[in-house]
A and B are shown apart, each in its own frame.
Chain A
Amino acid sequence: MAKVLMIHPDRCTGCNNCTLACEFRHEGQFRPTATRVHVFSWEREGFSVPMMCQQCDSASCMKVCPTGALHRAKGTTLVEYSRATCIGCRMCTIACPFGNAVYDSVTESILKCDTCGGDPACVQYCPSQALEFVDDNISTRSRKKVFASKFKTAFEGA
């Protein structure tokens, strides 16, 4: 069973521990432009949303990549990136509708989530469980259950 990085914006406190962990795991330093996960915060409303590549089944980035630098190994779910075959055309950054493939001028490469090889640092460091690495067919279970509990409450009250 494949795992997916599930985002729970309702739990996010906007602390950016995920971005820091991502930078550190990939580069051993804290460089804000090195992160593969981004947190957007709306300060007036006090709301934050982490964003990262969701490894689309039908991935636009892969489709437009002329060299196969973005590819998927047979039988896996991860969209992998090969720096060696990338020509830096940035087509993937245009094609991804979520903005989750980013060109980094410092390393001259595309930055996208690689799930840290199956043990994502962002998940480990999130203090609020706003990011979870879970089996994809139960990824929405907790959310569904929260909503289901509203039915429970409604019927109990009736």
Chain B
Amino acid sequence: MYGWSGTILRVNLTTGAVSRQATDPKVAALFLGARGLGDKLYTDEVDPKVDPLSPENNIVFAPGPFSGTFAPSGGRYHVVTKGPLTGAIAGSNAGGSFGPELHYAGYDALIIEGKASNPVYLWIKDDQVEIRDASHLWGKWVPDTTDLVRTETDAEAKVACIGPAGEKQVLFAAIMNDMHRAAGRGGVGAVMGSKNLKAIAVVGTKSIKVVDTKSFEGAVLKGRKLLKEHPVGGAGLKAYGTDVLINILNESGALPTRNFRESYFATADKIGGESLSANVLVRPKGCFSCVISCGRVTRVTNPKYAGEGEGPEYEASWAYGADCGIDNLDAVTKSNMLCNEMGMDPISLGATIACAMDLYEAGIVTLKDSGGLDLSFGNPDTIVDLTRKIGLREGIGDQLALGSYRFASSHGHPEYSMTVKKQEMPAYDPRGVQGIGLEYATCNRGGCHVKGYTIAVEVLGSPTKLDPRVTKDKPFYVKLFQDLTAAIDASGGCIFGTFGMSGDNYAEMLTALTGITYSTDDYLKAGERIWNLERLFNLKAGFTAKDDTLPERMLKEPIKSGPAKGEVSHVPEMLPEYYKLRGWDAKGVPTKERLQQLQLA
């Protein structure tokens, strides 16, 4: 096959059985790879009612057709499983070299089933697959785990692993690869931990073939040019990282502050990308085949928060920063490094701390609950301390490790949790930016921005500028962005590629790579197919239209101050139009006609 490697690897950790199956060309053509192929392989085999942390749950790792080629910023892989934080389908993807290496080893997907009786890691070298004892690695943090696995396998092996958070099943534990890249959201790391799977090491030496080399290179060069000429994709992200958004969102009045009590943070600049570049940036870093280089190699010299590593991204900087009322960049950077080292999602983690702080200031959570820790907003020591405690599930960290929804509910006040489907909303206030609220409410993996990043049009004006405060046309854009993102995810691409490239470019590259003709419409339709497949899984898992909503604070409490003062989210008004555009009935269930059009029925 061209673009695809042609083989799917299956490892059953209960029995130790390793098997292979051919990649079905028809399935590959319809679902592409990565998120799409992963979704298909996963949902075909797993009962939607499964307990995410039971041996009956599977976890799929899948690179896309672009992964391992020089399609611009196209080296990602996707992890598909049922997420323990949400109970919905969880898809998290990451850049770095792990996905391409798995593809080079000859695999379009790796399906992990069952549960090992003791800690193990997988060592994949092309056709050779071994399940090895990992008892001596259990408890180790991500950098040490990565180094030790390399010492035992190959010095240049690509390693994806979990840290202590995944082992202890923190519900927002991440899977880390290349030490600093995270399949971050939804708790996919906890699923790995529940299977006693500590790490996967891969070396691949096979090739990814291209049908039409001339057209492929032409399409790639065209895409690279568009990215280079784009102010965000070409220069902005490399100079300042994603954290450049702090000041931009703050100025538009949509930077959620102190657990979304407010949406404007007076000292936001101290945690923004400009401050980051001036104070902690060592150099920009790119993922495999990336032309953007938004990655931040950072170092904190302040002895109190000293460390070196990567990040923070905008969302992490927001969660630990503005959302906790903290403007200390050193503490934010250190906390983010700890997340990488322990393997956790800094969005859910920071937002869970913000929720705890909110409950504390409201007098609901007391000093007795916190073990004597002052949880007032604004204390930088708290985020560093609690990050460690959560990763190790010590003290109050044990309860916070369940996420803000379960934590706030256990104190009788779930309304303090700023979550959708129990996953923490990220760094864009849905009252100030209407479209992103609809994305949060409808995203198949719960509160999430990246699966339908309307911020591009609503805030950044790329490719066109829409008024963030209005609801008009937003359902259309949310659906369009969700479908396009699903297709890009399924190709192995990075959504930042859309800061320059359009669906036309992706379809052109995929066509030249695979030899299957994809028009832009075909490409978007593949994305829509993937979106609906995920929706069907969630409906069978027990979700209903009632879950497609935002926390009450977003719907009923107007923004108190700043440029977006007085705004609330209008998700309930937008939802019917969104369902209609999706071809779903009033209850949010896909109609038979639409499923037939999408070849899902």
Contact = CB atoms under 8 A, between A and B. Distances in A.
B70 A46 contact: no
B205 to A, nearest CB: 5
Nearest to A126: B291
Contact of A20 (B70, B224, B285, B286): B70
Contacts, number: 90
Given A21-B70, A24-B217, A32-B205, A16 B282 contact: no
B208 interface: yes
Contacts of B291: 15, 17, 127
Nearest to B156: A40
B84 interface: no
B210 A29 contact: yes
A44 interface: yes
Interface string A1-28: 0000000001001111100110010011
A13 B290 CA distance: 9
Nearest to B181: A43
Given A16-B288, A127-B291, A127-B293, A46 B205 contact: no
Contacts of B213: 24, 28-29
B178 A43 contact: yes
Q: How large is the interface on B (under 10, 10 to 19, 20 to 34, 35 or more residues)?
A: 35 or more
B205 A30 contact: no
Contact of B284 (A13, A20, A24, A45): A13
B283 interface: yes
Contacts of B206: 31
Contacts of A33: 205
Contacts of B224: 127
A15 B180 contact: no
A13 B295 contact: yes
Given A46-B285, A46-B310, A17 B70 contact: yes
Contacts of A32: 68, 101, 104, 204-205
Interface in B450-468: none
B282 A30 contact: no
A128 B289 contact: no
A125 B293 contact: no
B289 A14 contact: no
A125 B223 CA distance: 12
Interface string A67-84: 000000000000000000
B388 interface: no
A125 B290 CA distance: 11
Contact of B290 (A15, A24, A27): A15
Interface string B22-35: 00000000000000
B223 to A, nearest CB: 12
A43 B204 contact: no
Contacts of B308: 44-46
A13 B288 CA distance: 9
B337 to A, nearest CB: 11
Contacts of A28: 210, 213
A30 B207 contact: yes
A17 B205 contact: no
Contacts of B284: 13
A89 B104 CA distance: 28
A125 B221 CA distance: 9
Given A30-B68, A43-B146, A14 B204 contact: no
Given A17-B291, A44-B143, A30 B286 contact: no
A27 B207 CA distance: 10
Contacts of B207: 27, 29-31, 34
Contacts of B293: 13, 15, 127-128
B574 to A, nearest CB: 39
Contacts of B283: 10, 13, 46-47
Interface in A129-150: none
B289 A20 contact: yes
Contact of A14 (B209, B217, B282, B285): B285
Contacts of A17: 70, 289-291
Contacts of B317: none
Nearest to B287: A15
A46 B282 contact: yes
B70 A125 contact: yes
A127 B155 CA distance: 27
Nearest to A13: B286
Contact of B286 (A10, A125, A127): A127
A115 to B, nearest CB: 19
Contacts of B180: 43, 46
B482 interface: no
Nearest to B288: A16
Given A29-B208, A31-B206, A20 B290 contact: no
A36 to B, nearest CB: 15
Nearest to B159: A43
B534 to A, nearest CB: 29
A24 B69 CA distance: 9
Contacts of A27: 207
Interface in B388-432: none
Interface string A36-71: 000000011111100000000000000000000000
B58 interface: no
A33 B178 CA distance: 20
B179 interface: yes
B69 A30 contact: yes
B97 interface: yes
B208 A43 contact: no
The 3 closest A-B pairs by CB, nearest first: A46-B297, A15-B286, A31-B207
Given A13-B284, A30-B70, 17 more contacts: A13-B285, A15-B286, A16-B288, A20-B70, A20-B289, A24-B217, A29-B208, A29-B209, A30-B69, A30-B104, A30-B207, A31-B104, A31-B205, A32-B68, A46-B310, A127-B228, A127-B293
Interface of A: 10, 13-17, 20-21, 24, 27-34, 43-48, 125, 127-128
12 contacts: A13-B285, A15-B289, A20-B289, A24-B213, A30-B104, A30-B210, A31-B104, A31-B206, A43-B178, A46-B309, A127-B291, A127-B292
